[in-house]
Amino acid sequence: MANRLERLLNLTAALLNAGHPLTSGDIAEQVPGYPDPADKATFRRAFERDKESLRDMGIPVELVDVPGSDPPEPGYRIRREDYALRDPGLDADELAAIHLATAAVRMEGLPGTEAIWKLGGAPSPATDGVALAALPAIPQLVPLFGAVAERAPVTFGYRSEVRTIDPYRLSFSRGRWYLDGWDHIRQDDRQFRLDRIEGEVGVGAPGSFERPERPVDGPAQPWQLGVDEPVTARLAIDADQAGWALDHLGDATVVAEGADGAIVVELTVTNRDAFRSFVLGFLEHAEVVGPPELRDELVDWLRGVGA
């Protein structure tokens, strides 16, 4: 059951973040945890169960024709405007994870759902009293949930340093909890894995900071929220995906443009795992062209998955 929960989380995030409706083949390739797509009947049964589970939880999975397909090919999507958000800073995929966690998972160690309600999650009547899995609630979750909701700074140990953070949002991805916020020591936005926090979390006075307004060109991107050594990535994107990329990345990231409309963008990366996920979302329509070590790292990862 725990594996299915993670697959539901990944499926929701994929359908929310895709630039176009995803076919069942796209989903089989992009979303970990499904049976071998070569066994079409088994994959179809698993996907149909997952799709109905999401709809039962109130997540609006739509079936539409994939634009440009001839003959028309069916695809699936979750439109952000149809996914109601009560949002203190969560992105749509982060809120989807919280919603699924409250609807399908019993949080061990938490006395109730009040903290989740503050973050915008909502238990679903369809799953009332029924849990797909028990998700362990690590001790840091309780104070951090409250700190995000109350705009209270937090202090904790991380990689042998004492960090003071203005916490903006919590997210759940691939079985782990993450905290995004302003790091007072680094004087920059950073992302922290909760299972790497050392010791207890100290919480300051409520209302001590203002959550920043989202900039015109969108919130900080996931690959900018990490503690990896910064690297400037160059990503070539095919013409048919360039428009969507520009909507999300902004014109300022473009460093080259082809006659056919293809583009090359430069992105500062401090979270390589998040950058890899972003690139893989384009499937064959994007290629890391530099620096060589970042390209090699992605190639090695893909070879490891296919081994």
For the chain, list the domains and their CATH numbers.
Answer: 1-133 (1.10.10), 138-212 (2.30.30), 231-306 (3.30.70)
Rg (the chain; Cα; Å):
20
The structure's pTM equals 0.37
Q: How far apart are CA 21 and CA 16, in angstroms?
A: 10
Q: Please give the share of the chain, as a percent, with pLDDT higher than 70.
A: 72
- pLDDT tens for each residue of 117-133: 334 444 444 344 444 44
Q: What is the pLDDT of residue 247?
A: 62
Given pLDDT bands bounded at 50, 70 and 90, which one contains residue 108? low
| Whether pLDDT at 287 is above 80 | yes
| Whether pLDDT at 101 is above 70 | no
- Please tell me the number of Cα atoms within 13 Å of 299 on its side-chain side: 10
| Whether pLDDT at 95 is above 70 | no
Tracing tokens 């082809």 back to the chain, one arrives at 258
- pLDDT tens for each residue of 25-68: 888 888 888 887 778 888 888 888 888 877 766 677 888 888 87
Q: What is the pLDDT of residue 18?
A: 74
Q: Beta partners for 249?
A: none
Nearest to 92 by CA among 216, 219, 204: 219
- pLDDT tens for each residue of 198-232: 999 999 999 999 877 543 334 567 788 777 888 99
Q: Please give the share of the chain, as a percent, with pLDDT higher than 90.
A: 16
Q: How far apart are CA 179 and CA 144, in angstroms?
A: 8
Comparing 72-86, 150-164, 209-223, 263-277, the range with the smallest average pLDDT is 209-223
Q: How far apart are CA 250 and CA 202, in angstroms?
A: 37
